[in-house]
Amino acid sequence: MKTYFDAISKIEYEGPKSENPLAFRHYDKDKLVMGKRLEEHLRFAVCYWHNFCWEGKDIFGLGTGTMNRPWHQPGDEMEMARMKMDAAFDFMAKLGAPYWCWHDYDIAPEGATIKESRNNFAAMLDVAEQKMAETGVKLLWGTANAFSNPRYMCGAATNPNPEVFAYAASQVQNAMAATHRLGGANYVLWGGREGYQNLMNTDLKRESEQLGRFLQMVVEYKHAIGFKGTILLEPKPQEPTKHQYDYDSATVFGFLQRFGLEKEIKVNIEVNHATLAGHSFHHEIATAASLGILGSVDANRGDYQNGWDTDQFPNSVDEMILPCYEIIKAGGFTTGGFNFDTKLRRESIDPDDMFHGHIGAMDTLALAYTKAADLYESGELQKVIENRYSGWNSELGEKILSGGINLKDLSQWAVDNDIDPKPQSGKQEYLENLVNRFIHK
Amino acid sequence: MKTYFDAISKIEYEGPKSENPLAFRHYDKDKLVMGKRLEEHLRFAVCYWHNFCWEGKDIFGLGTGTMNRPWHQPGDEMEMARMKMDAAFDFMAKLGAPYWCWHDYDIAPEGATIKESRNNFAAMLDVAEQKMAETGVKLLWGTANAFSNPRYMCGAATNPNPEVFAYAASQVQNAMAATHRLGGANYVLWGGREGYQNLMNTDLKRESEQLGRFLQMVVEYKHAIGFKGTILLEPKPQEPTKHQYDYDSATVFGFLQRFGLEKEIKVNIEVNHATLAGHSFHHEIATAASLGILGSVDANRGDYQNGWDTDQFPNSVDEMILPCYEIIKAGGFTTGGFNFDTKLRRESIDPDDMFHGHIGAMDTLALAYTKAADLYESGELQKVIENRYSGWNSELGEKILSGGINLKDLSQWAVDNDIDPKPQSGKQEYLENLVNRFIHK
Amino acid sequence: MKTYFDAISKIEYEGPKSENPLAFRHYDKDKLVMGKRLEEHLRFAVCYWHNFCWEGKDIFGLGTGTMNRPWHQPGDEMEMARMKMDAAFDFMAKLGAPYWCWHDYDIAPEGATIKESRNNFAAMLDVAEQKMAETGVKLLWGTANAFSNPRYMCGAATNPNPEVFAYAASQVQNAMAATHRLGGANYVLWGGREGYQNLMNTDLKRESEQLGRFLQMVVEYKHAIGFKGTILLEPKPQEPTKHQYDYDSATVFGFLQRFGLEKEIKVNIEVNHATLAGHSFHHEIATAASLGILGSVDANRGDYQNGWDTDQFPNSVDEMILPCYEIIKAGGFTTGGFNFDTKLRRESIDPDDMFHGHIGAMDTLALAYTKAADLYESGELQKVIENRYSGWNSELGEKILSGGINLKDLSQWAVDNDIDPKPQSGKQEYLENLVNRFIHK
Amino acid sequence: MKTYFDAISKIEYEGPKSENPLAFRHYDKDKLVMGKRLEEHLRFAVCYWHNFCWEGKDIFGLGTGTMNRPWHQPGDEMEMARMKMDAAFDFMAKLGAPYWCWHDYDIAPEGATIKESRNNFAAMLDVAEQKMAETGVKLLWGTANAFSNPRYMCGAATNPNPEVFAYAASQVQNAMAATHRLGGANYVLWGGREGYQNLMNTDLKRESEQLGRFLQMVVEYKHAIGFKGTILLEPKPQEPTKHQYDYDSATVFGFLQRFGLEKEIKVNIEVNHATLAGHSFHHEIATAASLGILGSVDANRGDYQNGWDTDQFPNSVDEMILPCYEIIKAGGFTTGGFNFDTKLRRESIDPDDMFHGHIGAMDTLALAYTKAADLYESGELQKVIENRYSGWNSELGEKILSGGINLKDLSQWAVDNDIDPKPQSGKQEYLENLVNRFIHK
Ligand SMILES: [Co+2]
Ligand SMILES: [Co+2]
Ligand SMILES: [Co+2]
Ligand SMILES: [Co+2]
Ligand SMILES: [Co+2]
Ligand SMILES: [Co+2]
Ligand SMILES: [Co+2]
Ligand SMILES: [Co+2]
């Protein structure tokens, strides 16, 4: 079958000395790291939306996109959807990422009615199922697009109109069932427009209760159908709306607790959403891990000088090594993985550009993860932490944490003993050098 | 008694036509708003630290400060502390703010040992108690400074050393007892250095558990001594540390839930901390109110172009009216109030500058609150919200929220009815004009 | 003639007590301020692009827009362009803004070839000319859209391909001629994509020389055709590209000097672009005025929590009074004016929303300008500045500035006289209260 | 001689396999890169201020610092200054950085009068001169601290009081003479408080003229005394003041042109100041190089989540390689070099921490520079750029740039030829991978 990517062959691992831009230099999928193949650690996934649906439009170029893919031309929508899927699976098979991810309306055109939309989707699911079988590409997660259609302009589950809630419910139920059918490892909910544009017209409390109920319904449905994957929420602080309720991992954790869902739902952390929230990606990963809700990762990057979601391909081992270390320390991915929610620059319009983006990203993460594993296995960082907090293993430390002493008595103890604990160096620069030693061996 | 502010007389309300810079133009404390005196609504408090302790040093001018107050000269520390307190109460009495706020080491110099510090503090509490009786100035809240001394450089409750936790406990216990003795309406904890400088040397989970235990001890102590005020946490996202655990109201709420404290502790929201966290002040107030944890306010402002805590005096009715509206909607302050955690510009070195800052802030808030009350009483905004969400009072809406329908059935209902809900205008611009109508009558 | 805005009547001035949302409360166009009618001071202009061309799409909703205007339906493009223009002039006439502004492709659809585009444009210019005559609406400025078509994805004048430069030249020449024909008061160039996405593929020096040459050609052409309006550059720091060359007013001034254009070109300052550049709008206005390049203003506002160009309607007198003061101090607008480069929120989809946005903006600026004029006429701020710098009128001050003393001699003089100048209060809080006195009289 | 750093020996290069934290792993000063020794390329300098003067105070810890150096104890100030200088030269000699940098009041305490300050400074210059001779450490640049003393709170050259200008002139003249005497390679001016806190009390135009005159006096004096080094301005956008006049390189260039100084003064670019200005460091270097004003570098780093000048040690090869590439492309440093204007974290209080910070920074830059040289010598990036712009070597391109065609004729040519230039991919992802290939060989 001829596809858009015909000129490009399967991407092979050629090792660090290779100068072939269409080969992996670091992602050797069969390499054993901590006793497991890299492919199984990293669980890379290609996203359908940015790669195959986005036409290269932006807010200052809404008319004609730059990407000019053959399936973005006028014509029968279902035919175009099939041409797109041919190209997509050709791309994924050649790239060698083991997973893919989609929104319902990425793979099938939205119809004029719910039923037509469902029929389109069902037809494309058949195609997808067959393609997955042929190529061996698996589903990391599915999700529903409940933000693009104007009906969702004021939110989906948080919409002032309960019929919009119901419309979103119908999409999410259908997309969950499809994810289950395709053997998806997770199901994701990204808020999209679950947030506010202004507080004057917004009932915050009511909207949060709507959203809480929606999530409970999703979890109940998961159990009802026997879906064993993880339900994931993807935090994002703002954009498209002024403020979004799933601001960051800590906010999501508070929300989940409020609705009794903190054991049922985890987070899908996106690098660029972390930075938009004023956090390092490292922070978001470490926070989620410390709260027991680390699920999966959208592995992209933002631009530190631009205040919107640029969704660029990750390209810095320096930035990725410590988040990878944190993931390893937390036990590695279970159902989650690294999904590339990444977008070519609008000017990168050649077919090979999509390969360059993914190859660079996969090499970067393979390198970062391998070096992080090396750092982890050395135990050097962990030892610093253990020493640093070792005082908490003392009688005093344990008494405090176990509730064995109250404020008044502890205060009195401090006075009676006239304590004067001395500051100890935090050794940040030493630790930065230590990490760099593992990066540049 | 001669003080630093001798040249200035009591500040009187002279009305909006006054051109006297040392008079109130809008803060008429006895004016009835919604049946209550403005003074009782606003509950203004003067902070001790920025006003009387700060010498006008900044990070590029650490040697000599610009403020050059008489009590910042070399000399006996306790004598200076008394001179400072004379000036402070003279200032507060002349200004006519009904409350004050302090850190333990604001009012009494830290000594060489815990005991010496406690003795100094006890001596100054006697002075303070007498001054309060003489002037009628009441205590809005007390707090402990567990961040300036080098022993706290890596945190207080979250320190790697449990002795530092104990040291902080001794200060907090003592400051709580003092607050109770002085009839304080609240007790505040601001994280200070409860956060991290880097994640390499930090055990996030352990530190959060330390902090959780500390807060539980504080709440237990409150009940043990019969303190009826509110315990408040003050969120701040960063500065002095890279990241602080009490990032914002939503994060604090999640934290409180985790340790079973969400009914015991509320938030003290600072305007500038909201903006540093990437939120509008309005957002923080509305969020805290919607979660039932709105306690008190540090009424200052930041600079939208500067990324640090400038703690300027509030001067914009436009910025304050909607937060005031939100406070009124939530029932107004109970134990909380508007504390001016505000700092003169480092170049504002005259004695009268401290009056200008506070007069402007009090006038701004008096005007904003009065106009917000007017807006609230008109019911115009509330009506827009009620109409907007009225669909949720329908059978469908109530069934969804009450758990009377599951995802599958709701989805089926949407399909069967082929629903196609239409978007309704959010009317943001109309609402902005509505608010402006109340500002510029 | 029936148009989209039929249900709405002409907007009248009804005074501050009016509660009619479709009336002006402060913009009394005939009110005399400093001896001139408000309309002549403010020179309000309605922009064509956001109001009439934008369909309500955003980056998360690229398919169907929310605005659903009748002229955004499928059909003959020129017919739609005429329907749009009918509605636009109906809107402008009802609103009573004296000016409009356009890009070439706002008013006429781009064709398949340059010639077709020119023909479309010429046809619509005829319509526009007639509409202007009928309604009395005048042209504040025209400009060319050299950023939406994919050919401009890597810049127009700064494109790596000189044919793209030539294409842009053809559009700009044609749009300048059209502006001249319609009696435009200015011609604007906004960089659009004149910037870079990354420095790896960019020759900064070469691109700046291309842009310099382009601007010189524009200025030469202006003189050749006898256009008496002002050429304006609109600074913007980033978006759509990572970095844009016309970053801010100071950067533009340096650029203009480098190409000998600082007497020929002024700036069109947009509020939201100022804030994206990390400046207050006040700063940009004051900087441009101090450099003699203050031309015109795109009067919108950004969102301090969102890092992209939200282009909201201005709604804060507090934010606008000092920029207006600065404009008045600089002598007021000559050819420039306040253009509303403003965009409805994507959720504000009713026909009356476009009126609410503009009415609020015009009232806000009318109030801010009137109060600023009052402040200016009082001389109070100016007097503070004159006193503050009065030392520079001394012999020492004049000798320094006139070059009458060199570094060595001045140094020696300081040593010999053992000078020790004392700091003087900057009185910021006093001045903030002074300005507030003029806002809330 | 016993010093604070006695326990630490000379830092040696041990190669990338070394696990000794007190050794260089990449900075092999004698390694030849592009035919020149690394030491001569990089020209590392240690700064006096952060390393030896800062006591570990911050704005939330103004009382006692954390650093607790022996020379920060009470005692005779000149004796302390000598003890500090002993330690400083011991540190620099052990580290092996070939240069140092200072402010006047870093090395000698400010006295009660100008004369006393000058005497202190002169005495310490004698010590410094001897230490330099003994250790071989050379002076990269000197500068004057005209921002810490309260007299400078409203600026130095831009102060409203010309006597403050004169005071600053006396310091700068003296520091320039000292720099000349010690064989300094450059003289730096950092604005400090040359900016504004608010525009209400500021005469922007006047202040810029004061600053312009000051710089002219500096340049005239340089020539008068025969100083052959470069005069450098260090841009910084804000902090300590709200806005600083030397905002960024483009702003400084415009300012220099305005006062005829663009051939006389270059910029000293600080990484963290670039990021505070909303730019990448790469941008600032490339911009300055393209304008011919690239002078020297303060090689530190900021924190992308913190909005103030954290001045951390550079630790990312990923971030430094392209700026190094740009420096190499511009011909490398002449008088400039990499000065570490870097500050230990306030918690890094051990003597060895100062070594860890510098070793990591020097290794990072050595690695980045070496890899950048490799990339440069490969010609791969340069070739991409040459191809990309090759159209400008055509007849059309040259005619446009040389002024050989005017706007009208170029427009006509485009129409006549019905040109339709096609977009070409910008290949960003390909180029990112190319750079990464040079980082991870
Ligand atoms: Co994502
Ligand atoms: Co994203
Ligand atoms: Co506060
Ligand atoms: Co603050
Ligand atoms: Co604009
Ligand atoms: Co804009
Ligand atoms: Co510096
Ligand atoms: Co710095």
So what's the ipTM on this one? 0.98
What is the CB neighbour count within 10 angstroms for residue B88? 26
Listed in sequence order, the residues at least 6 apart from A56 whose beta carbon sits closer than 8 Å to its beta carbon are: A65, A66, A67, A68, A346, A349, C150, C153
Could you tell me which of A233, A263, A226 has the C-alpha nearest to residue A251? A233
Residues from chain A contacting residue B408 (CB–CB below 8 Å)? 173, 221, 224
> In degrees, to the nearest 5, what angle opens at C-alpha D180 toward C-alphas D176 and D185?
100
A379 exposed, middle or buried (CB, 10 Å; 0-12, 13-18, 19+)?
A: exposed
Residues in chain A with CB shorter than 8 Å from the CB of D440 are: 16, 25-26, 317, 367
Q: What is the pLDDT of residues B7-46, one digit of tens each?
A: 999 999 999 999 999 999 999 999 999 999 999 999 999 9
Cβ neighbours, 10 Å, residue C334: 15
- pLDDT band per the 50, 70, 90 thresholds, residue B2: confident
Spell out which residues of chain D touch residue B240, defining contact as CB-CB under 8 Å.
58-61, 346
Q: Does the annotation count A180 as an active-site position?
A: no
Query: Rounded to whole angstroms, what are the CA distances from A437 to A315, A380, D184, D437?
Result: 19, 11, 35, 19
Active site residues of B: 103, 106
State what percent of residues in chain C have pLDDT above 70.
100
Residues of A annotated in the binding site for Mg(2+), as ranges? Answer: 234, 270, 273, 298, 309, 311, 341
* Separation of alpha carbons C25 and C23, rounded Å: 6
Q: Is D356 on the interface with B (CB under 8 A)?
A: no
Q: How far is C64 from chain A (nearest CA, A)?
A: 7
Q: B232: which strand partners?
A: B188, B266
Q: Please say whether the beta carbons of D425 and A349 come within 8 A.
A: yes
On the question of pLDDT at B407 being above 80, the answer is yes
Measure CB to CB from residue D348 to each of A17, A364, A427 and give the nearest one.
A427
Q: Which of D243, D305, D347 sits opposite B238 (nearest CB)?
A: D305
Which residues in chain A come in under a pLDDT of 50? none
Q: Could you tell me the CA-to-CA distances from C227 to A337, A364, C35 in Å, in that order?
A: 62, 56, 29
C258–D contact, CB cutoff 8 A: yes
Cα dihedral C162/C166/C171/C176 (nearest 10): 110
- Number of C-beta neighbours around residue B139 at 10 A: 24
Query: What residues in A contact B426, CB-CB < 8 Å?
Result: 153-154, 197-198, 201
Token pair listed for A187: 């199901």
Give the pLDDT band of residue C267 (cuts 50, 70, 90).
very high
- pLDDT tens digits along D274-319: 999 999 999 999 999 999 999 999 999 999 999 999 999 999 999 9
- Residues in D touching C144 (Cβ below 8 Å): none
Residue B53 reports pLDDT greater than 80: yes
State chain D's mean pLDDT as an integer: 98
What is the CATH class of B12-378? Answer: alpha beta
Nearest to A439 by CA among B224, D319, B199: D319
Taking only the tens place, the pLDDT of each residue in D405-439 is 999 999 999 999 999 999 999 999 999 999 999 99
- B36 in contact with D, Cβ within 8 Å: no
- 8 Å CB contact between C354 and C67: no
Q: Which residues of C touch A150 (CB under 8 A)?
A: 56, 61, 64-66, 68
pLDDT of residue C35 exceeding 90:
yes
D26, D41, D72, D103: the active-site residue: D103
Cα distance between residue C214 and residue C208, in whole Å: 10
- Amino acid C3: pLDDT: 83
Task: Say how far apart CA A248 and CA A122 lie, in whole Å.
Answer: 34
**Is there a binding annotation on residue C203?**
no
Q: Which residue, chain included where needed, has tokens 């002085």?
A: B182
DSSP H helical ranges for D6-53: 38-42, 48
- pLDDT (average), residues B342-352: 98
Give the ligand with the smallest distance to the CA of C302: 6
Contacts of residue A272, defined as CB under 8 A and 6 or more positions apart, other chains included, come to: A298, A300, A301, A302, A309, A310, A311, A312
- Per-residue confidence at D136, pLDDT binned at 50, 70, 90? very high
**Cβ contacts (< 8 Å) between C307 and chain A: which residues?**
276, 306-308
Instruction: Give which of D60, D161, D345, D350 to mutate to test B binding, by max B Cβ within 10 Å.
Output: D60
Confidence of residue C201 (pLDDT cuts 50, 70, 90): very high
Diameter of chain B measured on Cα atoms: 85
**Nearest residue, CB atoms, B392 vs list A118, A154, A162:** A162
Task: Give the model's pLDDT for residue C130.
Answer: 98
Chain D's closest residue to A360, CA to CA, is D433
Chain D: residue nearest B191 by CA? D60
Determine the Cα–Cα distance for residues C102 and C395; give it in Å rounded to an integer: 53
Residue of C nearest to A240 (CA): C60
Domain locations along chain B: 12-378, 391-439
Write down the pLDDT at residue A319.
98
Residues 359-418 of D with CB under 8 A from C: 381, 384-385, 388-389, 391-392, 394, 396-397, 400-401, 403, 406-408, 410-415, 418
Instruction: Give kind and range of the element (H or E) at residue D244.
Output: strand D243-244
**Cα(A161)–Cα(A151) distance, integer angstroms:** 10
Q: What pLDDT shows up at residue C2? A: 82
Exposed e or buried b per residue across C337-366, where buried means at least 16 C-beta atoms within 10 angstroms of its C-beta: bbbbbbbbbbbbbbbbbbbbbbbbbbbbbb
CA dihedral B47, B49, B53, B55 (to 10 degrees): -100
Cβ count near C95 (within 10 Å): 22
Residue D2 confidence (pLDDT): 82
Report the pLDDT value the prediction gives residue A191, as an integer from 0 to 100: 87
Q: For residues A357 and D426, is the Cβ–Cβ distance under 8 A? A: no
User: What is chain D's alpha carbon radius of gyration, rounded to the nearest angstrom?
Assistant: 24
Tell me: pLDDT of C1 over 80: no
Are A345 and D426 an interchain contact pair (Cβ–Cβ within 8 Å)?
Answer: yes
> Cα separation of B56 and C137, whole Å?
55
3-class state of residue B154 by DSSP = coil
Q: Would you state the pLDDT for residue A2?
A: 82
Both tokens assigned to A63: 């008319």
pLDDT for residue C310 is more than 90: yes
Average pLDDT over residues B47-53: 98
Residue whose token pair is 């159209």: D391
D208-256 pLDDT tens trace: 999 999 999 999 999 999 999 999 999 999 999 999 999 999 999 999 9
| A269 torsion bin: left (phi>0), alpha (psi -120 to 50), beta (else) | beta
Q: What is the C-alpha separation between A61 and C153, in angstroms, rounded? A: 9
Q: Which of A352, B188, A60 is nearest to D431 (CA)?
A: A352
Q: Which ligand is nearest to the CA of B268?
A: 3
Q: How far apart are CA C404 and CA B391, in angstroms?
A: 78
Identify the bridge partners of residue C32 per DSSP, sorted by sequence position. Answer: C37
Angle subtended by helix axes D317-329 and D428-439, to nearest 10: 100
What's the pLDDT score for residue B170?
Answer: 98
| Å from CA of A150 to ligand 3 middle | 42
The residues facing B77 across adjacent strands are none
- Least CB–CB distance from D58: residue in B59, B66, B149: B59
The active-site residue, picked from A72, A103, A279, A282, is A103
Test the C interface: residue of A67, A106, A148 with most C CBs within 10 Å: A148
Q: Residue B37, SS3? A: strand
CA–CA separation, B116 vs A257, rounded Å? Answer: 45
- pLDDT mean across residues, chain C: 98
Closest residue on chain A to B118 (Cα): A415
Query: Which pLDDT value is given to residue A258?
Result: 98
Q: Do B308 and D192 touch (CB under 8 A)?
A: no
- Give the pLDDT confidence score for residue D322 in this predicted structure: 98
Query: CA-CA distance, A271 to D101, in Å (whole number)?
Result: 39
Centre of ligand 7 from the C-alpha of residue A321, in Å: 29
Give the integer Cα–Cα distance in Å for D413 and D395: 13
Q: Which ligand is nearest to the CA of B235?
A: 3
Contact between residue C307 and residue A308 where contact means Cβ atoms under 8 Å apart? yes
Å from A163 to nearest chain D CA? 40
Residues 180-199 of B with CB under 8 A from D: 192-193, 197-198
The reply to whether C426 touches chain D by the CB within 8 Å rule is yes
CB–CB of D433 and A315 under 8 A? yes
Rounded to a whole number of angstroms, the distance between the first and last alpha carbons of chain D is: 45
Chains B, C: CB contacts within 8 A come to 133
Mean pLDDT in residue range D350-369: 98
Dihedral-angle region of residue B35 (phi above 0 means left; psi in -120 to 50 means alpha; beta otherwise): left
Between strands A32-33 and A36-37, the pairing is antiparallel
C321-349 mean pLDDT = 98
